[in-house]
């Protein structure tokens, strides 16, 4: 018997709300249409400009986080709490959130189109942290585009705002529920056994974790899904654990929850993650989803390959382990079987190992890589004991550079400067030409990156905005 379809239930601006609409509608579409809350704007419809930013507190979360409502499906907010700019304006007996008043008083808005999203992003910063330093403010605003006011008065208003905790009203997610409508429903299984049953019953269903890539098809092309299976309610897929030897990350863990672990063990990886995903994206996007989409410009895979990470793949038939470098078989193609999913990623903890990853793009934040190069070096005194090197953004799949690795093994650090190293990389790579760069440009960048690694290890380089 098919599970009963229930309304999608959540809190909206502090009030319990439910809707029986299609589960594959975007939250932005529902807010501006059914809820008639039009302070939330549609700009790029792809999660880049931040005009559609709202605040969401997921079930079990302890704070509100900014999210892009244009690439978030309404079925995904089952059991969550949402807040829009109208909800912020109703705070303190309609005195509003302090950032709203400071933005107005400081001349921090001109046309005002981007302002609601900026207000939500800064309110989210204040709800989750006491850090209102300039660095924290700029990170909070990295996903918000302002085309007319300029950021100086916005940053001034943010720095003048004391952190404010938002209300803690929340919903209880209907664990295991199927929500939406007959036309489009979203299942929320809570166990892998339930997931296998749903995948067998609905072989054409869309599997969804964060959806920040897949949901672009809904926002842009109005693609519709009759059946969606969400992976976010399965606790096993959301768990992050550090053992004596490994960091194990559940495939449905969000980047916002993963980042503290990357900051601790691989700061260069953490820096790169902050560049390819804004706060709004990291509040929803998952590591497993980043890999499963198999995008040739996905910035996670090169780092994981260089760090010798393994994937734990599970299906109704059992479990297997696979090196990340063996996961991709072609353009947006992987080894995943018919009912197989990525369950976890296991990363060996660093021991006397230096790791650097460099994202070369036309702008610093939220841009597609022209070249992404990752280098993991085992340092033994003044020598490189072993090396693992991977590149992304250059071909249909990420590439491990074995010739370059072999050249560095048991060599002094100065080998990174050697032209033979650049030649080895050239033999490993066959870059493509596209709108982001020519094959020749990509090769020139790749040949130069080993020198940047050497300078970085010597403490002689600084972070560049973009190359």
* pLDDT bracket for residue 2 (50, 70, 90): low
* pLDDT bracket for residue 465 (50, 70, 90): very low
What are 16-46's pLDDT values in tens digits? 999 999 999 999 999 999 999 999 999 999 9
Q: Are 158 and 122 in contact (CB under 8 A)?
A: yes
3-class state of residue 51 by DSSP = coil
- CB atoms under 10 Å from CB of 384, counted, come to 22
Share of the chain above pLDDT 70, in %: 98
Q: Is the predicted pLDDT of residue 450 greater than 70, yes or no?
A: yes
What are 392-431's pLDDT values in tens digits? 999 999 999 999 999 999 999 999 999 999 999 999 999 9
Phi, psi of 426 (to 5 degrees): -65, -35
* pLDDT bracket for residue 1 (50, 70, 90): low
Looking at residue 205, the DSSP 8-state letter turns out to be: P
Distance CA 68, CA 42 (A): 10
**The pLDDT value given to residue 135:** 93
Distances (CA, A) of 308 to 100, 311, 348, 383, 425: 47, 10, 7, 20, 19
Average pLDDT over residues 252-263: 97
What are 290-319's pLDDT values in tens digits? 999 998 888 999 999 999 999 999 999 999
Q: Is the predicted pLDDT of residue 467 greater than 60, yes or no?
A: no
Mean pLDDT of all residues in the chain? 93
**The pLDDT value given to residue 171:** 75
Q: Is the predicted pLDDT of residue 149 greater than 80, yes or no?
A: yes
Average pLDDT over residues 116-131: 91
Q: How big is the chain by its Cα radius of gyration, in Å? A: 23
Q: Are 178 and 82 in contact (CB under 8 A)?
A: no
- Among 128-142, 265-279, 323-337, 439-453, the minimum mean pLDDT is found in 128-142
């Amino acid at each position: 018997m098919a599970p009963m379809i229930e309304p999608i239930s959540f809190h909206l601006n502090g009030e319990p709300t439910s809707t029986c609409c299609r589960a594959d509608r975007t939250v932005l579409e529902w807010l501006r249409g059914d809820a008639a809350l039009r302070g939330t704007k549609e700009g790029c419809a792809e999660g880049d400009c931040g005009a559609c930013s709202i605040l969401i507190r997921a079930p079990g979360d302890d704070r509100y986080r900014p999210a892009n409502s244009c690439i978030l499906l309404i079925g995904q907010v089952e059991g969550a709490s949402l807040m829009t700019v109208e909800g912020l304006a109703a705070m303190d007996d309609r005195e509003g959130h302090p950032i709203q008043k400071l933005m107005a008083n400081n001349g921090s808005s001109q046309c005002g189109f981007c302002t609601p999203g900026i207000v939500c992003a800064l309110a989210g910063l204040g709800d989750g942290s006491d850090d209102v330093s300039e660095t924290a403010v700029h990170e909070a605003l990295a996903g918000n585009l302002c085309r007319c006011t300029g950021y100086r008065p916005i940053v001034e208003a943010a720095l003048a705002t004391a952190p404010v905790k938002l209300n803690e009203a929340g919903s209880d997610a209907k664990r295991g529920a199927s929500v939406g409508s007959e036309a489009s429903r979203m299942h929320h299984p809570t166990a892998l056994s339930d997931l296998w049953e749903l995948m067998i019953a609905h072989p054409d269903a869309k599997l969804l974790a964060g959806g920040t890539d897949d949901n672009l098809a809904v926002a842009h092309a109005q693609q519709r899904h009759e059946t969606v299976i969400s992976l976010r309610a399965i606790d096993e897929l959301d768990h992050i654990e550090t053992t004596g030897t490994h960091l194990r990350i559940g495939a449905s863990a969000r980047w916002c929850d993963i980042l503290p672990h990357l900051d601790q063990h691989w700061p260069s990886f953490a820096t790169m993650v902050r560049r390819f995903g804004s706060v709004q994206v990291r509040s929803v996007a998952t590591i497993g989803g980043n890999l499963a989409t198999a995008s040739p410009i996905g910035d996670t895979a090169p780092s994981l390959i260089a760090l010798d990470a393994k994937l734990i793949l599970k299906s109704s038939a059992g479990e297997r382990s696979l090196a990340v470098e063996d996961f991709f078989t072609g353009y947006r193609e992987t080894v995943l079987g018919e009912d197989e999913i990525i369950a976890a990623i296991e990363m060996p903890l660093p021991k006397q190992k230096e790791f650097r990853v460099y994202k070369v793009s036309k702008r610093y934040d939220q841009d597609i890589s022209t070249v992404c190069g990752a280098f993991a070096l085992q340092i033994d005194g003044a020598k490189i004991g072993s090396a693992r090197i991977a590149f992304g953004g250059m071909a249909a799949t990420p590439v491990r550079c074995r010739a370059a690795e072999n050249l560095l093994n048991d060599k002094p650090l100065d080998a990174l400067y050697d032209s033979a190293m650049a030649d080895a990389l050239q033999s490993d790579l066959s870059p493509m030409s596209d709108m982001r760069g020519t094959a020749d440009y990509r090769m020139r960048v790749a040949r130069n990156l080993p020198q940047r690694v050497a300078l970085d290890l010597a403490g002689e380089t600084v972070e560049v905005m973009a190359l």
